[in-house]
Amino acid sequence: MRVLVIEDERGLAAAIARGLAEEGFVADVAYDGVDGLWSAVHESHDAIVLDLMLPRMSGYEVLKRLRAASVWTPVLILTAKDGEYDEADALDLGADDYLSKPFSYVVLVAHLRALLRRGAPARPAVLTAGDLDLDPARRRCHRGGQEITLTAREFTLLEFLLRHPDEVVSKTDILEHVWEENFDGDTNIVEVYVGYVRRKIDAPFGRRTIETVRGAGYRLRGTGR
């Protein structure tokens, strides 16, 4: 079993590699996000151990690009307790498992073995509404085969609506799912962003996929019309 370790703390990376070797794994090490991504895409690994705080490219970006490139190698994220991201974020990013630093090698190896048993994660399904489709894994959106470029926030907003087709979702629901938990701004921001998304997915195509339900919120028409 070949494991790629992407970790910039050289002492820790060496210790992980040594620990894995003792357990019979072959470990490759990359010390920054750019090199790590290259190895992950161009070489074959059974699992990846990925630190989040990395020079040149964050672990967050590495994981996003990896999945966008349709590399489904299981990823175990290393999170610092006081770090920028927490465990829930790590899983949201498309990681398969996480460990908080500091951790013991026994636990790391147990997590890796469990990951390897599970195998590569299933690719998330593409969400569709008529001829509108959105691929959460590849971060792509199309209408009738034509690519639509969305910002990260617009993408998340449309993804949320597509996961609730033909349901009325309130601005508060949207705010809670699409914006940071602690966002204490006005729900008007939702209106603004729904406007942005409509200008990209509806207006140019003469559609009204996202309906305003007066006094209640929005409803995405599952037919995409």
Q: Which residues bind Ca ion (CB under 5 A)?
A: 8, 51, 53
- Residue 59 Cβ vs Ca ion, minimum distance, rounded to whole Å: 8
- Residue 55 Cβ vs Ca ion, minimum distance, rounded to whole Å: 8
Residue type, 161: L
Nearer to Ca ion, 9 or 202 (CB): 9
Q: Distance between CA atoms of 34 and 111, rounded to whole angstroms?
A: 25
Residue 110, both tokens:
């147990």
* 201: number of Cβ within 10 Å: 25
Terminal Cα distance for the chain, rounded: 49
Cross-strand pairs, 100: 79
CA-nearest of 155, 154, 160, 159 to 172 is 160
**CA 184 from centre of chain:** 24
- Residue 71 Cβ vs Ca ion, minimum distance, rounded to whole Å: 21
- Furthest-apart CA pair in the chain: how many Å? 63
Nearer to Ca ion, 39 or 209 (CB): 39
Which residue is closest to Ca ion by CB? 53
Nearer to Ca ion, 19 or 121 (CB): 19
- Residue 51 Cβ vs Ca ion, minimum distance, rounded to whole Å: 4
Residue 167, both tokens:
């349901």
- Residue 89 Cβ vs Ca ion, minimum distance, rounded to whole Å: 16
Nearer to Ca ion, 62 or 132 (CB): 62
Q: Are 49 and 103 in contact (CB under 8 A)?
A: no
Nearer to Ca ion, 1 or 53 (CB): 53
